[in-house]
Structure 1
């Protein structure tokens, strides 16, 4: 399998501080990665590198076979799907759910003068249906619940048939029901052999859907562990990552839980 994303000794330095420090990491075709770490660890910086919206200060970043600094990112970005809070804030609240997804076909955030083909609308409807959003097609984006917004953003990210799908804390802000519904749908997407390679940032192992294959743990800009979930998502690694004693368990339905040790 070829590399979809490759970082080699990558550092990103801002105001004398390394946001990520000498990170080497690769994502291959068909892999589904989770990035775990505490606040300020460098998770979002990694995602910004992977989306080509941030360039390394040092090292080499290659995305979909194209090296950052030697490729026109405006040609590269349509091959990458992104769903995250930062994008949600840029989308017009008065746009319908269907329009919000359709505009991604032309790399826009709002409808202007572009004309959509029938196939565009069919695909937008199909992605929304897959994420349980069919009944919301004509609802205004700004009136959606947090869970409905998250599902709309994932459908939008799929509109360009991306080769790499990046999810920035897709379950953040959801209540228990909303989280479990989203995890269930992400699991179906992750298990789809035709789905793109995926990278998801989260703080919580409970948000890792069945079908995800690999984990990267980062703390203070440095990678502590990276590899298959079965091997690397251990109590020892997660405890190092979050800086306190934790116990990680995997249940029979292929879901993960973590809890702290009782205070003595």
Structure 2
């Protein structure tokens, strides 16, 4: 697999609203992307197209070598790991962490009468250990902290050894300590041999893990900028994305942003 997915002039239109407008985007094997943008920019819609849960209104979307609209999406989705608030809300609160992770092997939420073999259990234990949730294996999902839930969801998404992993705002709602724990896990994952292609949505540059390679910035359903992280993530591009003058800093591979002091300038939309 050379190209994980390729979108060509993709638009998603709903009555009275253009959610995505003429998006072209190609992601290659081995790349780790972050999608940045304000609320309503189209980030989640874009992830739904890439995750084969939404079809474009126009344009072409090729995911893992298959064209949406001419492939069995249920089979395709088994090759894609996803985390989101919507998935978390569907996990029964009484489900143990071990079962929440292991049940991904059957693509179900809530263990029922599935039969798991020793290989499934070993795989779940391995992933939980790598994500730092092995000690929580017998805890009920409903008793977990927000950070523990996020790491459990990533472990679940990795259970089927996906070729593509989509993380929709994994840092949302986390306190500083939980966010740093999550980023540490993502940094290990991004650098591990055999890891899937990673795509993560965020509002905040502070949540970009070390090891991520590329960025795509969205505003009003359109691409503001995309490309290698070190070259593309600039104060000017970030300012255009969020509609304000911003200062950008980087220290030890981690980014930070704040509103520019009075008198400073950053390119905004229309400049």
With the length of structure 1 as denominator, give the TM-score of the two structures. 0.98
Shift of residue 104, structure 1, vs aligned partner: 0.1
Q: Deviation per CA, 1:59-106: give whole Å up to 9, x if none.
A: 000100000000000110000000111100111110000000010001
Q: CA deviation at 1:263?
A: 3.7
- Cα deviation 1:12-31 (Å, max 9, x = unaligned): 00113110000000111010
The answer to whether 1:255 aligns with 2:237 is no
Q: Structure 1, residues 18-70: CA drift from partner, whole Å, max 9, x if none?
A: 10000000111010000000000000000000111100000000100000000
**Cα displacement string for residues 193-229 of structure 1 (whole angstroms, at most 9, x for unaligned residues):** 3100010000000000001000000000000101000
Return the alpha-carbon distance in structure 2 between the equivalents of residues 84 and 122 of structure 1: 25
Q: Does 1:26 align with 2:30?
A: no
Give the distance between the partners of 1:263 and 1:232, measured in 2 at CA.
25
Quick one: distance in 2 between partners of 1:108 and 1:119? 18
Corresponding residue for residue 68 of structure 1: 68
> Aligned to 2:223, what secondary structure does the other structure show?
strand
Q: Unaligned 5+ residue runs, structure 1?
A: none
Distance 2:178 2:111 in 1: 29
Q: Does 1:164 align with 2:169?
A: no
Q: Which runs of 5+ in 2 are unaligned?
A: 264-271
- What is the CA–CA distance in structure 1 between the aligned matches of 2:18 and 2:96, rounded to whole Å? 41
Q: Which residue of 1 aligns with 2:268?
A: none
In 1, Cα distance between equivalents of 2:86 and 2:35: 18
1:58 corresponds in structure 2 to 58
SS of the residue 1:54 aligns to: coil
SS at match of 2:206: helix
Correspondence list, 1:97-116, <5 A: 97-116=97-116
How many correspondences in the alignment?
Answer: 263
Say if 1:30 and 1:193, in contact at 8 Å, map to a contact too. no
In the aligned structure 2, how far is the partner of 1:240 from the partner of 1:122? 47
- Aligned equivalent of 1:198: 198
For residues 256 and 192 of structure 2, what CA distance do their matches in structure 1 show? 24
- Is 1:188 the counterpart of 2:179? The answer is no
Which residue does 2:237 correspond to in 1? 237
CA distance in 2, matches of 1:12, 1:140: 38
Rounded to whole Å, the distance in 1 between the matches of 2:134 and 2:7 is 38
